[in-house]
Structure 1
Amino acid sequence: MKCPKTPEEWNDVAKRFASKWNCFNCVEALDGKHIAIKKPEGGGSLYFNYKKFYSIVLMALSDAKYKFLFVDIGAEGGAGDGGTWQKCKLARAITNNRAGLPQDRNLLNYDEPIPFHIVADDAFALNTWLMKPYSHQPQDSTERIYSYRLSLARHVVENAFGLLQMRWRVFETTMQQDVQVCKKITLCPCVMHNLALQRCPLAGTDVDYEDQHHNVVAGTWREELLNLME
């Protein structure tokens, strides 16, 4: 699992988002996933999340092809996605201009430089380097197009989580080990997920995709995961 550190490496990731998802100057898709654990001894309330179970947070950033580039594992579930991300070393590095992101770049037919950025959902704080869809309704045509394109790019990390959960059934259970062991158990499938993508490429229908009419079609992992849960 190798996170880009130079402008050249970030540019390579951004090119894949542009070509595959028509989302420009995008370098990663960000989201958090709650990993169910038994109630820790002492301080258990810190791990009790808004979904009403005990958890640690898997904070992950994915590239355009569902590969994890960065993960932060082990924050208390009660902290929430936004608060957990702000404490991640990568977030601090970006804030302090130490992450190696490229200089702002003009988009095609647009003469104002646009920052390279991460895409995320409403759980995260808006920043020049973190974009999310418009939350207000109704939206005009320009806003709808922007929100649609950004949401489509953000779906890659949601799909990465779905593939992870479908392949490794440990995420369908409540881990009974202590927190430190749960962190290691969570990290291993993330690494194996990346290896699986390298050695066994996905079929186009395995994950969410956009049809010729710009409708988002659900990937087969969603149905397979539902079948596993039944």
Structure 2
Amino acid sequence: MFLRFLASGDSMFSLSIAFRVSRAALSGIIMETCQALWTVLQPLYMKPPTEEDLKLVSREFNDLWQFPNCIGAVDGKHCRIHKPPNSGSDYHNFHDFESIVLMAVVDARYRFLYIDVGAKGKENDSTVFKRSSFGKALEVNRLPVPGDKELPNTSCPLPHVFIGDEAFPLKTNFLKPFSRYGDLTTDKKIFNYRLSRARRVVENTFGILASRFRVLKSTMMGKLEAIDHIVKAVCVLHNFLMVTNAQNGNSYFTPVLVDREANGQIIPGSWRRQSIPVLPSGNISGNFSGRDALKIREAFKDYFCGVGRVPW
């Protein structure tokens, strides 16, 4: 009953009829199970990463996506909800529906490292990021970010970085693309492509999540706290299934689900062909970038156009 609710996106009303239980009882079962899943699975499958964990993430981003010193891709996703009472326009997003935001950091293998759930839909990615526990910890250097490391085949150490799209702030430990407005030089286009290619892992993670847990494609009803529990439960279940898929093999993840490359061409993942798209949460906001952050992005750009260039 619980798994059918998450996987199908069926309404509480239809499930209460199918299983012959009251909606109140069904709601209680779902909430208790969500909380129990988080309590049991989070310490095992979404525990805060250590410095050694992030070093492994960095190696895998280089091996799989040719982006060295990357320790996570960041993005947000809108989760549809019914408009809460007396909420005005607080949850109304720029896609023109009510939502809360799931802000996430993922590793190179489509697994969640950090999540933040419950921000109001009207807020842009930059604001949600700054207010999240992850964003606050990053701002005051409380995350176990590994020390600077030389990029492959160079002697110049550079910071380990998270990556995101234009909606996020450029920082010494957070890279985003060069602005797409105005003329971009070839080297900046190359940097943007390399970053976009690595960042696509978070977009595909959301795609896997929504294709397997169709409750995220429904318009969720109920108290905001209950919806937060549902979103957290599907995220930690996703990590559990991704890990067991890698260890034992199961049908949760298959390569055709995600974007892949063949002969230099990107083949869209099957999740993109589903009826309701995964909608990003970020509209672009103005972000001031410090001089050091600009220099670090330039250094990565020079690397991608020099010794770190790839044939494709």
* TM-score, length of structure 2 as denominator length: 0.69
Amino acid at match of 1:199: T
In structure 2, stretches of 5+ residues that fail to align are: 1-45, 247-252, 279-312
The aligned residue for residue 268 of structure 2 is: 218
RMSD of equivalent CA atoms: 1.8
The aligned residue for residue 144 of structure 1 is: 189
> The residue matched to 1:61 in structure 2 has which SS?
strand
Deviation at 1:228, TM superposition (A): 9.8
1:33 and 1:49 map into 2 onto residues whose CA distance is 11
1:87 and 1:228 map into 2 onto residues whose CA distance is 26
Deviation at 1:69, TM superposition (A): 0.9
* Residue 77 of structure 2, aligned match among 33, 55, 70: 33
Deviation at 1:109, TM superposition (A): 3.3
Amino acid at match of 2:225: Q
1:49 aligns with 2:112: no
Aligned-pair identity in percent equals 38
1:173 and 1:227 map into 2 onto residues whose CA distance is 9
> The residue matched to 1:49 in structure 2 has which SS?
coil
1:102 aligns with 2:146: yes
* Residue 260 of structure 2, aligned match among 209, 225, 230: 209
Deviation at 1:206, TM superposition (A): 2.4
* Residue 177 of structure 1, aligned match among 222, 247, 259: 222
The aligned residue for residue 153 of structure 1 is: 198
What does 1:88-127 correspond to in 2, within 5 Å? 88-127=132-171
Deviation at 1:42, TM superposition (A): 2.3
The aligned residue for residue 239 of structure 2 is: 194
2:241 and 2:215 map into 1 onto residues whose CA distance is 17
The structure having more radius of gyration, on CA atoms, is: 2
In structure 1, stretches of 5+ residues that fail to align are: none
Quickly say closer, same or farther: Cα 1:114–1:53, change in 2 above 3 A: same
The aligned residue for residue 78 of structure 1 is: 122
1:228 and 1:29 map into 2 onto residues whose CA distance is 20
Q: Bigger CA drift: 112-121 or 141-150?
A: 141-150
* TM-score, length of structure 1 as denominator length: 0.92
Deviation at 1:170, TM superposition (A): 0.8
Deviation at 1:92, TM superposition (A): 1.4
User: For the Cα contact (< 8 Å) 2:79–2:217, is it kept in 1?
Assistant: no
Deviation at 1:220, TM superposition (A): 2.0
Q: Bigger CA drift: 32-41 or 127-136?
A: 127-136
1:18 and 1:226 map into 2 onto residues whose CA distance is 33
2:171 and 2:260 map into 1 onto residues whose CA distance is 27
Amino acid at match of 1:94: L
